[in-house]
């Protein structure tokens, strides 16, 4: 069954190499009960680890059940560890967070079945611990823990059990119980190989091998070999389908680990949480702003054009020295009289203004507009009246104020007829505009309207207007009107042919919509890159904590490998854990982001829209972060060597 020839093992210590096993050859028959004895440091454990496939010899051959071990791949080795051998350690090596039955059936999650309460119960009964089935290892005595470890080694019906000083940490009563269990197992046909330094235990075996300084000193048969031992059909490698059961188990354990280290997990989630909250919140704000601006635009109607002067100079020797082309009040009058398709025009000239009333001060947007604005922009005052064309022409100092301005300057008092100063010029308030609400972050009620001529000459000291709103009678005429406008303006200002395309811009609503879209796209890109950076930072946080977790649980990884976990199993386990962390962070982040946008819309009054796609996107992203940044720690864990991991302190 076992045949080793000239097995040697040496360790490199600095530039020296220490020979621990110096050429060991032996055969072990099926059904035997072999005790290996020897002084401490003689290489007993090293030999056991090699026999139990936890370690590889430096040289020599090992044939197990007719197969040369050196020729097996890592995955095949894992399957042999899982299916054919059981290992019992001096330190028991139970997983502390699990109950007895879970510890016993742990090897099953690496075969197809997953944890099995029933199978664990049968085995725990066999080792006399049926009533401790729900206890965790820290609630059990050493002898009880070792009996659980024996039950665990039996879960896959192994043909051989290796026990490295299984009673070394136990009192004499537990020692007797353990030996009794092993003896019974041997009677049932399982080959037992046990390391011990107690003569009394060695004498109970059927064959006693003494080791000293890495060589076999003596080998005697104490009892005859009775049965031929049991046969066992070995399950083959699992089919390469995705192990759903195992993954669910890993996710479940990931949650438990998370819950066991609440503060640490919370902190490591923080980066992802903030990143996702930022994505959701900012997208909600951006979408909200765009929607409210779009709504406003569509409420203006599709018959609106806006005329503005471009940045073109004419008349100088070089371009820079010329006079900049501007739209004048004359232009506005001519446009209205010469293009019949135009229903109405409203020139405007605006700027910021410092407004005072008595001791109150307020900084707001001051717009000079024509009386036609009242009708074109649905701005009939709720109190008082709008100014007339006559007032506009004589540059009257009258103002119609928005509700925000009214509230800030006058509070509850009626503003009609009061004198205010705009940039130190006295104006009389004659009306209050209807409330329009906010358009994204912009408060549309925080403005003052004054006659455009007064604004140009009395406030801003300029003889041109900034833009002209033009209302066309029929939307079908818009392209024609746009052309006529360009032509008329270019002619009036004698624009050279080379600059004619750029001198004046006429926007229609579709243009404005498009400009808006491209602006909001740029904004979205910007937000997305900020969010991406914060998510990467969050990912690094997760990677960091996962590396700590791998180091902390090196022993656990060693044990899992010893009971048959393949690389892929360990990889999945740690990936699942980092996905749990990042997805939990992501979910909390989504909650925070949604909460934030609700808060903004309730308290600050901006429109916010949380779109399902942004939530899905951030959720997917956080899961991806977990996979990407969990991969390195997980692969590091999966590559650990079983025996080195088990020895790790």
Q: Contact positions toward ligand ADP, by CB under 6 A?
A: 11, 13, 18, 20, 38, 40-46
Nearest residue (CB) to Mg ion, 45 versus 486: 45
Residue 268: how many other CB atoms lie within 10 Å: 25
Residue 496 contact among Mg ion, ligand ADP, none, beta carbon within 5 to 8 Å by kind:
none
Q: Which is nearer to ligand ADP, 42 or 549 (CB)?
A: 42
* Chain residue at closest Cβ approach to Mg ion: 45
- Only one of the segments 39-47, 348-356, 388-396, 610-618 lies at the binding site for Mg ion (rule: CB under 5 A); that segment is 39-47
Min dist CB 645 to ligand ADP, Å, is 12
Q: Which is nearer to Mg ion, 38 or 564 (CB)?
A: 38
397 vs 140: CA distance, rounded Å: 92
CB of 52 to Mg ion, least distance (A): 13
- Identify the CA nearest to 90 among candidates 128, 48, 125: 48
Decide whether 48 or 450 has the Cβ nearer to Mg ion.
48
Considering only residues 403 through 442, tell me which ones interact with Mg ion, judged by CB under 5 A.
none
Interaction partner, residue 340 (ligand ADP, Mg ion, none; CB < 5-8 Å by kind): none
DSSP 327: B
Give helix then strand counts, H and E, for the chain: 21, 24
C-beta of 15 vs 118, nearer to ligand ADP = 15
Cβ atoms 47, 216 nearer than 8 A: no
Q: How far is the CB of 39 from ligand ADP (least distance, A)?
A: 7
> Which residue lies nearer to ligand ADP by CB, 45 or 618?
45
CA atoms within 13 A on the CB side of 275: 33
E strand residue ranges, 294-408: 304-309, 313-314, 323-324, 342-357, 360-369, 383-384, 398-401
Residue with tokens 């791949």: 73
Q: Which residue is nearest to ligand ADP (CB)?
A: 45
- 40 is in the binding site of which of ligand ADP, Mg ion, none (Cβ under 5 to 8 A by kind)? ligand ADP
Burial class (CB in 10 A: 0-12, 13-18, 19+), 128: middle
Answer whether 194's CB lies under 8 Å from 202's CB: no
Enumerate residues 194-253 that contact Mg ion by CB under 5 A. none
- 41 interacts with, out of ligand ADP, Mg ion, none, CB within 5 to 8 A per kind: ligand ADP
* Among ligand ADP, Mg ion, none, partner that 43 touches (CB below 5 to 8 angstroms by kind): ligand ADP
Tokens of 647: 């020895």
Q: How far is the CB of 18 from ligand ADP (least distance, A)?
A: 6
Stretch (H or E) spanning 12: strand 2-13
DSSP assignment, residue 136? B
Residue 81 beta carbon to ligand ADP: minimum distance, rounded to whole angstroms? 19
Least distance to ligand ADP from the beta carbon of 110, Å? 26
Question: For residue 605, what is the DSSP state?
Answer: -
Minimum CB distance to Mg ion, residue 214 (Å)? 13
Residue among 88 and 478 whose Cβ is closer to ligand ADP: 88
Nearer to ligand ADP, 10 or 116 (CB): 10
Burial of 602 (0-12, 13-18, 19+ CB in 10 A): exposed
- 41/434 with CB nearer ligand ADP: 41
310 binds, among ligand ADP, Mg ion, none (CB under 5 to 8 A by kind): none
Residue 62: strand, helix, or coil: strand
Cα atoms in the 13 Å half-sphere on the side-chain side of 602: 6
Q: How far is the CB of 20 from ligand ADP (least distance, A)?
A: 4
Sheet holding 67-68, edge to edge: 16-28, 2-13, 59-64, 67-68
- Residue 12 Cβ vs ligand ADP, minimum distance, rounded to whole Å: 8
Nearer Cβ to ligand ADP (170/499): 170
Q: What are phi and psi of 57, to 5 degrees?
A: -75, 155
With a CB cutoff of 8 Å and minimum separation 6, the contacts of 590 are 276, 277, 280, 615, 618, 619
Binding-site partner at residue 11 among Mg ion, ligand ADP, none, CB < 5 to 8 Å by type: ligand ADP
Nearer to ligand ADP, 39 or 595 (CB): 39
CB of 281 to ligand ADP, least distance (A): 53
Instruction: For the CB of residue 128, give the shortest distance to ligand ADP in the complex, in Å.
Output: 28
Q: Which is nearer to ligand ADP, 2 or 304 (CB)?
A: 2
Q: Is 520 helix (H, G, I), strand (E, B) or coil?
A: helix
Considering only 44-52, 400-408, 447-455, 480-488, which stretch makes contact with Mg ion by CB under 5 A?
44-52
34 contact choice in Mg ion, ligand ADP, none (CB below 5 to 8 Å, kind-dependent): none
Backbone angles phi, psi at 219, to 5 degrees: -150, 105
Q: At its nearest, how many Å lie between ligand ADP and the CB of residue 6?
A: 18
Nearer to Mg ion, 45 or 482 (CB): 45
Q: Could you give the count of Cα atoms lying within 13 Å of 451 in the half-sphere of its Cβ? A: 23
CB of 45 to ligand ADP, least distance (A): 3
User: How far is the C-alpha of 246 from the C-alpha of 113, rounded, in Å?
Assistant: 9
- Compute how many other C-beta atoms are within 10 angstroms of the C-beta atom of residue 362: 18
CB-side exposure of 200: number of CA atoms within 13 Å?
Answer: 6
Which partner in ligand ADP, Mg ion, none is near 292 (CB below 5 to 8 A by kind)?
A: none
The region of 40-48, 533-541, 559-567, 624-632 touching Mg ion under the rule CB under 5 A is 40-48
Burial (CB count within 10 angstroms: exposed 0-12, middle 13-18, buried 19+), residue 23: middle
Residues 86, 156: contact at Cβ < 8 Å? yes
Q: Is 45 in the site for Mg ion (CB under 5 A)?
A: yes
Q: Which helix (H) or strand (E) holds 532?
A: helix 509-552
* Interaction site with Mg ion (CB under 5 A): 45
């Amino acid at each position: 069954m076992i045949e080793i020839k000239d097995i040697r093992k040496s360790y490199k210590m600095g530039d020296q190499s220490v020979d621990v096993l110096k050429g060991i050859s032996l055969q072990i028959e099926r059904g035997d009960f072999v005790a290996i004895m020897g002084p401490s440091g003689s290489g007993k454990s090293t030999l056991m680890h090699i026999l139990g496939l936890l370690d590889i010899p430096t040289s020599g051959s090992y044939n197990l059940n007719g197969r040369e071990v050196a020729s097996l791949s890592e995955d095949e080795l894992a399957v042999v560890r899982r299916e054919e051998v059981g290992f019992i350690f001096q330190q028991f090596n139970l997983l502390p967070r699990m109950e007895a039955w879970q510890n016993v059936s742990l090897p099953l999650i690496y075969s197809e079945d997953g944890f099995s309460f029933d199978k664990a119960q049968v085995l725990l009964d066999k080792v006399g611990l049926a009533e401790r089935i729900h206890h965790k290892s820290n609630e059990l005595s050493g002898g009880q823990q070792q009996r659980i470890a024996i039950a665990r080694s039996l879960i896959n019906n192994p043909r051989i059990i290796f026990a490295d000083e299984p009673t070394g940490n136990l009192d004499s009563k537990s020692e007797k119980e353990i030996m009794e269990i092993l003896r019974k197992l041997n009677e049932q046909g399982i080959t037992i190989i046990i390391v011990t330094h107690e003569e009394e235990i060695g004498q109970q075996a059927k064959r006693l091998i003494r080791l000293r300084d890495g060589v076999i000193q003596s080998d005697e048969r104490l009892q005859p070999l009775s049965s031929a031992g049991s046969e066992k059909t070995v399950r083959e490698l699992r089919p390469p389908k995705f192990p759903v059961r195992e993954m669910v188990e890993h996710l479940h354990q990931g949650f438990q680990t998370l819950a066991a280290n609440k503060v640490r997990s919370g902190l490591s989630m923080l980066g992802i949480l903030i990143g996702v909250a930022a994505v959701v919140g900012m997208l909600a704000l951006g979408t909200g702003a765009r929607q409210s601006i779009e709504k406003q635009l569509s409420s203006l109607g599709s018959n609106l054009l806006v005329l503005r002067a471009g940045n073109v100079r004419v008349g100088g020797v070089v371009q820079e020295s010329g006079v900049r082309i501007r739209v004048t009040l004359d232009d506005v009058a001519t446009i209205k009289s010469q293009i019949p398709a135009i229903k109405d025009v409203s020139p405007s000239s605006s700027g910021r203004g410092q407004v005072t009333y008595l001791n109150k001060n307020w900084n707001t947007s001051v717009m000079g507009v024509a009386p036609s604005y009242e009708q074109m922009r649905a701005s009939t005052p709720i109190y008082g009246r709008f100014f007339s064309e006559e007032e506009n022409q004589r540059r009257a100092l009258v103002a119609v104020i928005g509700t925000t301005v009214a509230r800030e300057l006058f509070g509850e008092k009626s503003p009609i007829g009061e004198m205010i100063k705009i940039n130190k010029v006295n104006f009389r308030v004659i009306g209050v505009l209807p409330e329009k609400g906010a358009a994204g972050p912009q408060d549309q009620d925080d403005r003052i309207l004054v006659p455009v001529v007064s604004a140009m000459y009395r406030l801003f000291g300029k003889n041109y207007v900034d833009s002209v709103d033009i209302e066309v009678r029929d939307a079908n005429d818009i392209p024609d009107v746009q052309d006529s406008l360009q032509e008329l303006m270019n002619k009036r200002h004698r624009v050279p042919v080379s600059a004619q395309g750029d001198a004046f811009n006429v926007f229609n609503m579709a243009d404005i919509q498009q400009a808006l879209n491209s602006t909001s796209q740029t904004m979205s890109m910007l937000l997305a890159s900020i969010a991406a950076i914060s998510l990467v930072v969050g990912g690094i946080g997760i990677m960091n904590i996962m590396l700590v977790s791998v180091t902390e649980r090196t022993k656990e990884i060693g044990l899992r490998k010893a009971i048959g976990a393949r690389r892929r199993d360990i990889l999945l386990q740690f990936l699942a854990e980092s996905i749990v962390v990042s997805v939990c962070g992501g979910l909390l982040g989504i909650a925070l982001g949604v909460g934030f946008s609700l808060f903004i819309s309730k308290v600050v009054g901006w429109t916010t829209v949380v779109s399902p796609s942004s939530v899905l996107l951030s959720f997917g992203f956080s899961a991806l972060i977990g996979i990407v940044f969990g991969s390195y720690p997980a692969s590091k864990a999966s590559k650990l060597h079983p025996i080195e991991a088990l020895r790790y302190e």
